[in-house]
């Protein structure tokens, strides 16, 4: 997928939580298998993210994979009164990382997420 500027982005990425409302999501990925019932030709892939803002865990869903400058995600409240949202990524070398992809890692996906 491409970001709003047009740069290619990984199918899966994650970073430590940035609780500012304009901060990047803690985890963001492209998933497949979304059922589509419209008659137009449309991908079954969807861009999803999770972000903690002011104690509220939010799920973000973009309407398209390749985002233009005006593309904004729909936000859904998942949980309220959340004190911490931490995601870690298991690298092929057998270590847990706080950011994905980690430095020097070329794998598209981590081996595990917790």
11-21 pLDDT per residue, tens: 788 887 776 66
What is the pLDDT at residue 44? 75
| Residues 35-62, mean pLDDT to the nearest whole number | 80
User: Strands 46-53 and 56-61: what pairing?
Assistant: antiparallel
Homologous superfamily in CATH for domain 1-82: GSPII I/J protein-like (3.10.610.10)
Query: Whole-angstrom Cα distance, residue 114 to residue 109?
Result: 13
Sorted by where each begins, the domain ranges of the chain are 1-82
Contact assessment for residue 56 and residue 76, using Cβ atoms and an 8 Å cutoff = no
Residue 17 tokens, joined: 């939580």
Residue 4 tokens, joined: 């709003």
DSSP labels for 74-102? EEEEEESS-------EE-TTS-EESSBSP
What is the pLDDT at residue 6? 75
68 vs 95, residue with greater confidence: 95
Query: pLDDT digit string (tens) for 84-98?
Result: 888 898 988 888 988
Query: pLDDT digit string (tens) for 52-62?
Result: 888 899 999 88
């Amino acid at each position: 997928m491409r970001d709003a500027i047009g740069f290619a982005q990984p199918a899966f990425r994650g970073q430590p939580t940035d609780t500012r409302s304009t901060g990047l999501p803690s985890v963001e990925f492209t998933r497949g298998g979304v059922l589509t019932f419209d008659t137009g030709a449309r991908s079954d892939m969807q861009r999803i993210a999770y972000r903690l803002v002011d104690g509220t865990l939010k799920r973000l869903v973009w309407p398209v994979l390749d985002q233009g400058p005006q593309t904004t995600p729909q936000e859904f409240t998942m949980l309220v009164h959340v004190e911490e949202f931490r995601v870690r990524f298991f690298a092929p070398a057998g270590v847990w990382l706080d950011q994905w992809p980690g430095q020097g890692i070329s794998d598209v996906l981590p081996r595990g997420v917790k």
